Structures are given as structure tokens and as C-alpha cells.
Structure 1
């Protein structure tokens, strides 16, 4: 159910409201309910739910406001509400996102801790298991009884059953029975990736963890520590192939990073769980316990930040992925080839380290990969740039500008106020000095305009119109559109109407390159620009409106670009870029670069192009 922003609802509350039902695209969800009237609270949550809510809230308040602090509630309670978008993306990129999703491994660690503690207090194994089961039921409510949590609890019950019978060989049959029961109760589990990961994590704990734990116990003093290390490593190794298959990508640092992080997962989970229990009643004790987790959580954050700097390996086809698995299997089968495999992995890790792969020291113009949106960057000098549009998401443009080394924006241009061009503004200006901002004279949509102005605060903002010319460093900038009077574009036809046709169009010439950036202008305005004497042949054409089919082709003959850059999101619903337009560029011998295919694009010269690559092998000079 969707509710108004600012409306805080709690699990197990009873509410009353008129709703609008929207048909869901998901087969397992009949409809999405959108609140259409004021929400009336009929009854507050029951005591158990309100208590666990208070514990979660108190626990969140005890951790520091940092990536380290936001990680701890995620690791222990699956609560990622404190995590920044940037840190979440970094976690996903390195393959750490599973750490903050409550799984069978969390339950196994909590169960293992309780069983270890009970052995010193209670002699009966059966009684220990009953107490452990009760603790796990309470843990379910603490982390919220969502389907994925209940699924993980069932998997943990399998482990406890195997432990009770004292025969690990019973674990796999019990796991099979649990799988059958869960799918019988909810057939949609069979196509749920989370279900596959839960099964694999449990399988890893059943199959690999006992052997790894025994091996570690012979080398370290404490058997409980050996088990705490073995459980997350086993679960991670079993889950990694499916994570790779689902995401279609693998960072070469993922497996080693997870192995390096695994030894601290157990201690953080156990200490954090105890700290959470006392968070509401003895916050000082909880704070003291949490102090022991900070160095370990800091280790994971450090690994995450380091790993996020590495490029990811993306698989373009199932065939390639299958071939890669066969190659790796063959290498592992031959013992004498293992050193060669290690050398190859280290070499690839070095070659794909992003700081040496993109954008390169000679870049002049870069187009950030911001999905279905626009974000163009013109290099001025070290750490200074002109930025034209900021894409739809703050984290994407912020990450791109950080990789480009941009710390100051001498000129920020917002071509028009559609979300795919301005919604990322907060990320673009984050920790950066913005000298001045240019905007169009069409201030619609109003909400996007007002939001942008509020973010810019005291920054100098001016409306620019056709005919104005400026010099910034060695860049000569000519404003070709919009006209001074809004009537000149408001009445023009087009699929984006007045807002697209009010985009700022710039001709930028440097000592090395020239570029024409045209926002989302459509054929009526493109036709007018074709007869503009200021518009001349350029090296690079930033293609209008993400390469839509709605283009005035004679303009291409006027500007004669060597390179066409299309900023577009992969798998978008708009049909961008148009195959017909791509064909027109190819007929004219224009090199086409697309962010949906190549990722971020950095240009040093028309024949010197470097891309981040949607696939690792595309990191190259053109």
C-alpha cells in the first residue's frame, strides 16, 4: 500500500482509508492500493510488535551517523534505512548486499550463539534446542516477519533438526522437505531469487561449514570462533554463482572481498544481537557492546570502498557465462594450472582498477552513464568542469563526477526541468563548489524548478537566451536556443511539447574539440537551428532527446559530426535510441556511442575515446 509522504505506519497497526486499486504487473500481487483519503488509525500494534519496534528504533539511535554506523543495523536486523544511496550502490557493486538481507546465515549465527551459551547452563540437548527455537521466534519478530525472514527461519529449523538428531546427513533430506513445503504453501517461491539464495545458503552451511569449521578448529584455539567464521564463508561461496547469474555481473574482487569480510560477520551479528536486546532498557550497555563491533564494521566498510573502485565483469550472453564456468572448472581440476589462474586473476584485477581505466588523463568531454537521462561534462582544468544536466539520480552523477575528479563546477547548465535532466542535482552539487548556474526561461514543471532552486540556495542562477556568448577558460560558448520569448517554442508541435522545445542548446568550441549539445529539442526547433549562421560543423554531437525517432535529419548534414553521443538507459520503454536514427548516422559515417551499450564515455579526440564499458573488455582507447 502506498501512503502519503510523512505518514508513519507501523507493523500490526489497524488502519482505515479509502484506496485506489491499481493492477499490479507482478503475478503474485493482485493490486497496489494507493491511499485516496486521510488514514485513520483504528488500533495500535500489539505489545510484541510495539516492543520490537521500540528496540529497532533505539538500536538505530545508538549507532554513529556514518557508513559504518548504517551498516550495523543492516547486518544484525536487516534494517538499511540509515544507509546512504551511494553506500548501498557500493555494497551492491562489491557483492556485499546479501550481508544486510536477513538470511539463514543470520539465524544460524544467532542459533549457534544461543546453543553455545546454553551448553554451560543446561545439560539436556532437547531443552537447549527448545530455548533456542523460542529465541529464534523472538528474533523473527525483531527483524520483522516478512516472507523472506520466515523462509530463512524454516531453513534454520532444518539446521536445528539436523543438530538435534546429531547426524548432519539428515540435514539435506530435511532441506528438501522444507523446500517442498514452502513451494507447496507458496508456489511463487519457485521463481523467487531470494528463495534460491536461502536454499543455497542453508545448503552451504550443511555441506561445507562442518568441514571448514573442523579445519579451522585445528588451527585456532576457539571452536566457537571457527564455526562463526565457517558459517558466513560457506553461505557466501554457495550463493555467489547465483548472485552472479542473477545480476549478470561479477566484480573480480567479490569473492576475495566476501572471504575477507566473513570472519567478522559472526562476531558482529552475535555482539550486535545482544546489544539490540538491551538497546531500549540499558542503552549504555548496548553502546558499550557496540564499541566492540565498530572496528569490525569499519573493516567491511573499507573493503566495500576499495572493492567499489574495481570494474565489474559483465556477461553479454548465457553462452559466454557457461563457457567461463567451464574454463574455471577445468583450471581448478588441474592442480598445476592453479598458480596461473591466480596470476591471471591478479592481473585482471589490476587492469580493471577503475582509477587507471576511466576517464584517462587526457579527457576533454565526458558523458556520464546516468541511465535514462542526460549528464555531459566538459573538462576545464584539474578538478574543474562545465556540467550540462545532471541525470535522474543523485548517486549516479555524484559517482561519475568523483571518478572524473570534478571538485568544482564553474558552470552548471540545466537545459530544462524534466526529471531525467535535473533530478540528480543534489548529487552533482554534493561537496562541490558551484560558481554559476544557467537555466532555461521556461520554468515548467514548477515542482522540479522550485526543488532545483531550493537546492542551489545562494548560487548565482541566470536565464540564458539565444544570441548570448561567453568565454570560460579556453571554451567559447554560444547559446543557440531558447529564444527570448516563450511563444517562439510554446506553440511548436512535438511529442515533448513546450518543455522539450525550450531546452538550452549550446555550441562549445575549444582549442581541441567542438561540440553541439541540444538537450531534448525536437524537429521544429532543430529546423530553425539549421538556418542559424552560428551553427557550424562540430566534432561531437550530443544527440537530442536520447536519440528518439523524432529528429530533423537535414540538421545532421549541417553539423557534420564525427562522433554522435547518445545518453540513454538500457531497456528503456521509449524505444530510444531509434534504429532508424542509428542507421542515418551510419550512412553518414558517424561513430555512434551509446551509454546503454558502452557505459560512461570519455573523449580526448574524435579518434581517442574511452568508455567504462558495460562489459569489462570494453575499457579501452578507441
Structure 2
């Protein structure tokens, strides 16, 4: 049952069109094998396909779609708590931060309509859940399947009335509880663990929790509801004798808890799943839980069939299945060593849920952390106490803050334990899949081996995985590497090895996590020189994580303080570090590392330069350009300089031949070929994101490189690139079948 549930849920979530294929396959199997189960599967798939089609047709409302791309007047109600979303790096610029919430639309330009939207608006807007609004917004298409469109507010928001009393009351509890939280990671974690409120957590900590496999702790799930319910049942046995009455009390408390953590689809789903577990315990039969789970799935999909394509739905189902099927087995084993039942269950519930969810987690993230299960085991004993203490503290926060503070004082050391586990395990390696298809094949092979009893299939899958990881471990960056270009997507991030964990770093990519992960793989702990060529976000966006855990001796920055917002943000983060503006002709020696750096550009006064299409010629042409010579290699790196600057560098007298060319501006068409001929490199490296909207790299320029017998290596095709010499090049690889350490 569990293997079928895993496979079918994964298929339905990641191949939405597969329901037709699933139905036809099941009908064929029913005919061939004359098995009722296949016929039931086929009918179920067809019903699900029909429901999803009807719902999708409703979301594709023709009137609404005719308004996409234009600014319209919307009326409706905020359906979820607004969440702050950091602006993404798009090309050279970072979009502004925005609040995001689900929006139940009731009217467009005065025409009545009932559809769900996603709305984004200014973080300064004082808007809360259940608030009726009128707002002018631009409608755009959304990739989010459960909404009809994305609305981006373009003006002031007019609030109509106030939220209903129940939501105002619960918002008051949440606000007061949040205000009592300690100003540290543990304090920020508690509202997330208790109420699913992650607003106090930093993005880096959220990413860290996700990497370790603990992010589910701050998402109210069926496992969380089941833990609360289990503890309440244990506590109420001393006050209420009859089990039926205890179940009624727990049910009422959980209903109230739903409104406190917000009645979003995911929370309602979690509540239904926890009800399955409670009913299974009530009837005292493990076999009752699986039919109840099936009934709950059917009920939820009839209410909202789009959930069938939601990975969160799959995780909720699998977590509940794990609690029903695996948790009793773990409890039986642990109860022989641990006498206290609620401690046993507080360990068994999250661990069993995590194990069942691992396949879908790997499909979502393309990674499988080896520390997820150990981390969940280590933090499991503190989850229930934190949840109980936090829940009571939240209830009393508006009326007895001193009592709530005392309870939080007891809970905070327990939350510190989770922070310690997360921090200590975040840097341990994870298995990274270039394509989810590779993991899916491995998973299916292992499941076939388990079901059929053919252990050799399992051994082959494990052997394939082990060989891949061994090769990945010894292949990149390789011993004696001198230069590495990190795979940071559409951006730049290059590392020049100085030895013993030291490196010169040129640009830090658009995202903190990718650059940090690359530097960890390269073993870089100290950066004597960090060169930020210019202040476009695809070159400086990852600065925070680079600074977080490494010693930086000096930072070179561009002479042009533009774009202003990116410049100010970067300078603020570099507070306390030696910052230098360099200019053409300056030469710097690092005698300890037998390395020299010659600055070729910019001049302090750039003058007027031609403007080319793109994100900003003036800023691009302010990029720091250098030739770095180590014991064994020389490299030219010039940020995003365009032909005007390249021509001036070529005629400056400072240019010389190099072994390696870091191609400027991600291989764009704007290149000055005489400069290429003067550099005469053996290898050209292009740092570029796959499928980027700029058309980088330019194929005609690639042809120019090839015609000069220059080896061309691209991060979009090869991943991370390392060189020990012009003839010793290694890559992380991006073939679909490759599995590596991440």
C-alpha cells in the first residue's frame, strides 16, 4: 500500500497530465488481468481528471483572461496572512520585496466574479487576513495552478470595514505572541513551530532548515496536529475517563487551533489528516486508518481537485500514511526502552512522517539530504514540549504576558537545540540530482525490488548511486585546481585558488546559497581579496553568505556607485571590511601566495560611452577588469564590460596574453574581437544561466571562439568548471543521469 501511494502521488503531482495515462493503463490492466483493483483505479483516475478539468476551466475564465496584461479595479478579501517575499534577481536588477497573499476575488471593474488570485503589494501596506479590499492592480499570468492569475497592486489599497471578530481575535493572539519571542534564531523559531508563523525568521535560516530537512517543522501539517492531539489525549486521560469524551474535547480544541494557525487549504488538509489518525486510535485498529485516509483524500479532492497537482498535498498524504503505517512499528520498538508513551510517540510520529515524505522531498528539491532522518530523530523529543508550552503561551499572551514569558523561557532552550542541530548539519553534504528523472528511476527500481523480492535490483540501484557519488567526490574540483567558475545561474562567480583554503573571489553571483555552496565545495575559508566588478545584482546578490562564515581581508569595488540601491545595500553589508576603489594601471602583489593582480579597468573618470541595449551600458562599462597571474595560470576577467571599454583596454598598453579568458557579460554579442586576439587564450569560460531570456551566450561569438581553436566551457551546459592547467579541466556535469554531492 505504502509503495503504491508513494509512486501514484509522485506521478500525479509532477506529471499532471498523467491521470489520463494512468486511467487508460488501469483499464488495460483490468481487461488483461481481470482485477477489480485496476478497474477501481481507472474509474478514480477518470473522476479525478474530470474534476481537475472542470476546476481548470473555471480558473481559465475568459472574462478574467481578457483582462490579463491590463490594470483593473479589483474587489475581494485577503484569504491568507500576507507573507514578505524577497525580490528575485532578474537579469542585472533585484525586484523590490513585496507582500504576497491569496486573494478571493469578488469583482473586476464592477463585474461580479468569484475566483482565487495571488496578490502582491507594497510591504508598507497595513493589510491583514480576512480584510476586504478595493485595489487597482495589473493582472499577469501565474504559474501557480491554484489561482486564476497574479495581481500586482499599482496604487493605494482601500480597506472596506474590518476583518471578522474571530480573525481579529486570533490575529491579536498571534501578534502578541510574536512580540514576546526572543530576538534570536530560537525565539524566531518558536512562533513557526507553534503557529506556522515564520515572519521572524531570516531567509538564510529558512534555507538552512530546508537543507537539513527540518523546514516541515514550521509548516502546520498532519504530523503536527497528530502530535498535539496525541499529547492532549494523554493529558486528558487524567481528567476525562471515557475515550469518546476525550476525543470530543480534543476535536473541539483542534477546531479552535485551526483558526489560530489560519484555516488555509494546507491547514484544513492537515486537520483532516489528523482526524484520520485520531479515528484510527479511537477504533483501536490499524487497518481502519488506511480506509480513513483514502476517504479523507477523496473528500479533500472533491472539495478542491487542484490539490491533486500540489506537492504539499502529496507530502500531507504521505506524512499521514507514515504515521499510520510506520509509526506503530517504531513505537513498539521504542516502548521496550522508553516507558513514557508521549515521549515515544513524539519521536515516532515525526520520524515516520519524514521517512515517508523523503521521495517527494527529493523530487521537489532535486536533493536528498543524508542528515534529514538523523536530524529529525535528534530534534523529535523537543517538538512536543515546545508545541505545548508555545500553544499555552500564545493563548495567554494577550491577557497574562508575564506567564507567557515564563513559558517561553522554558521553551527557548529547547528551540536552541533545534537551531544547533540545523547549524551543525547544514554544511554536511547532500545528494544532488541534476534531473528528478534520475531519482525517479532509482526510486522505482528500489520499490520494484522491495515488492518483487528481487534484491539484486536494489543492489544495482545502490551500486549505481555509490559509484556516481564516489566519482563526483574525486572529480570536482580535482586535486591541484587553480581556477574554478561556480555554477551560479545567470550571473558571475569565479574563484582563483591561492592554496590552504585561501582564494581570490571575483563576483558572488545572484543568490547567496549557490555561491556559498560552491565555496564550501572548494574548501575556501579565507578570501584575501574579493573583487566586486560592479553593482548589478547578478554579480553581488550572493554577498551575504560569502561574508557570513569567511574572513575577508580586502574588497575592491567599482568606481561607479550605481545602481544606487544595490550599492548602498552592498556597502552596508561590507561594514568593517577594508574597501578599495582601484583604477587602471595599478598592480598588486600577494607575495605569500606568489600571485599578482594587474588592474586594466576602469579609469576613475569613465567619460561618455555609447549606450547599447540591455540592463545598463554605463554600469557594465564601470566593471573592474583584471589579469591575475598565479604560479601556473593567468586569467583575464572583466565583469560585464562592453566593446567601448574593451577597445580602450586593448589600446591601453596593459593587455597581455593569458591562458584563460573569463568571457565578459555572459557571452553576449557585444564583444570587441581585436581584444580577443590580443589576449589569445587557450580556454574561454562563460558563466551563464540555462534558458536565460537574454539569449546568452551569442552563437556567433561562440563561432568566433571556435574558429580560433579556443576551448569553450559554459556553466549552463557543464555546471561548475575547474582548471588545474589549460589541459586539465573538470566539470560538475549536468547530464540527466548524473548524481553528485550538493
Change (3 A) 1:184 1:446: same
Distance 1:124 1:198, change over 3 A: same
1:197 CA displacement: 0.8
**Residue of structure 2 equivalent to 1:546:** 666
SS of residue paired to 1:82: coil
CA contact (8 A) 1:613 1:619 kept: no
Report deviation, 1:295.
5.2
Distance 2:552 2:485 in 1: 19
Q: Partners of 1:124 and 1:424 in 2: how far apart?
A: 58
Please name the residue that 2:48 is paired with.
none
Cα offsets for 1:239-297 (capped at 9, x unmatched): 11111122222123333433444444344333433343334434444444445545544
Q: CA 1:335–1:69 in 2, change beyond 3 Å: closer, same or farther?
A: farther
Contact 2:429/2:741 (<8 A) preserved: no
- TM-score w.r.t. structure 1 length? 0.85
Pick aligned residue for 1:471 from 575, 589, 592: 589
Q: Secondary structure at the match of 1:489?
A: coil
1:226 aligns with one of 334, 337, 344: 344
Q: Deviations over 1:357-410 (max 9, x none)?
A: 976785544434433222233345656544322322345445555666666654
SS of corresponding position for 2:635: strand
CA distance in 2, matches of 1:90, 1:603: 30
1:265 equivalent to 2:405? Answer no
Output the CA distance in 2 between the equivalents of 1:279 and 1:192.
35
SS in 2 for 1:38: strand
Q: Is 1:16–1:40's contact at 8 Å kept on the other side of the alignment?
A: yes
Measured in 1, the distance between the counterparts of 2:408 and 2:734 equals 40
Distance change (3 Å), C-alpha of 1:455 and 1:242? closer
Contact kept, 8 Å, 2:433 with 2:739, in 1: the verdict is: no
What is the aligned partner in structure 2 of residue 452 from structure 1? 570
Report deviation, 1:419: 1.5
CA distance in 2, matches of 1:72, 1:259: 19
Residue 537 of structure 2 aligns with which residue?
A: 419
The answer to whether 1:514 aligns with 2:650 is no
Distance of 1:80 and 1:88 partners within structure 2: 8
Of residues 474-483 and 456-465 in structure 1, the stretch that sits farther from structure 2 once superposed is: 456-465
Does structure 1 residue 503 correspond to structure 2 residue 631?
A: no
Query: Alpha-carbon deviation of 1:123?
Result: 2.8
With over 3 angstroms needed to count, the CA separation of the structure-2 counterparts of 1:122 and 1:462, relative to structure 1, is closer
Cα–Cα, structure 1 residues 93 and 520, in superposed 2: closer, same or farther, change >3 Å?
same
Moved more, 141-150 or 472-481: 472-481
Query: Which of 126, 140, 145 is the aligned partner of 1:22?
Result: 140
The verdict on how the C-alpha distance between 1:256 and 1:128 changes in structure 2, with shifts beyond 3 A counting, is: same
> Are residues 1:244 and 2:362 paired?
yes
2:302 to 184, 188, 193: 184
Counterparts of 1:600-615 in structure 2, within 5 Å, are: 600-607=720-727
Q: State TM-score, norm by structure 2.
A: 0.73
Q: Deviations over 1:415-471 (max 9, x none)?
A: 222111223344444476655543334443233234334444576655444344333
Which is worse superposed, 485-494 or 514-523? 485-494
Residue 74 of structure 1: how far off its partner (Å): 2.3
Residues 440, 464 of structure 1: 8 Å contact kept:
yes
Aligned alpha-carbon RMSD (Å) = 3.9
CA contact 1:441–1:486 (8 Å) conserved in 2? no
Deviates more, 1:413-422 or 1:427-436: 427-436
CA distance, structure 2, for counterparts of residue 349 and residue 288 of structure 1? 52
Once the two structures are superposed, what CA deviation does each residue of 1:49-78 show, in whole Å capped at 9, x if it has no partner? 233333333433444443333333322222
Q: State whether structure 2 residue 280 is matched by structure 1 residue 172.
A: no
> For residue 189 of structure 2, what is the aligned residue in structure 1?
71
CA distance in structure 2 between the partners assigned to 1:349 and 1:227 by the alignment: 37
Provide the rounded CA distance (Å) in 2 between the counterparts of 1:395 and 1:566. Answer: 20
Alignment-derived partner of residue 59 in structure 1: 177
The whole-number CA distance in structure 2 between the counterparts of 1:271 and 1:360 is 50
Residues of 2 paired with 1:374 and 1:341: CA distance? 39
**Distance in 1 between the 2:329 and 2:374 partners?**
20
Give the stretch that moved more between structures: 497-506 or 381-390.
381-390
Pair 1:196–1:609, CA change in 2 (3 A): same
Partner of 2:687 in structure 1?
567
- Aligned pair in 2 of structure 1 residues 280, 344: CA closer, same or farther (>3 Å)? farther
Whether the aligned pair in 1 keeps the contact of 2:211 and 2:369 (CA below 8 Å) is: yes
Tell me which residue corresponds to 2:91: none
Task: Identify which of 232, 235, 238 aligns with 1:114.
Answer: 232
How many residue pairs get matched?
619
Change in 2 beyond 3 A, CA 1:362/1:287: farther
Which structure 1 residue ranges, 5 or more long, are not aligned?
none
Q: Which moved more, 1:331-340 or 1:213-222?
A: 331-340
Taking the aligned partners of 2:583 and 2:260, their CA distance within structure 1 comes to 58
Aligned-partner SS, 1:2 = strand
1:298–1:618 distance in 2 versus 1, CA, 3 Å: same
Contiguous gaps of at least 5 residues in structure 2: 1-118
3-state SS of paired residue (1:30): coil
* 1:378 corresponds to 2:487: no
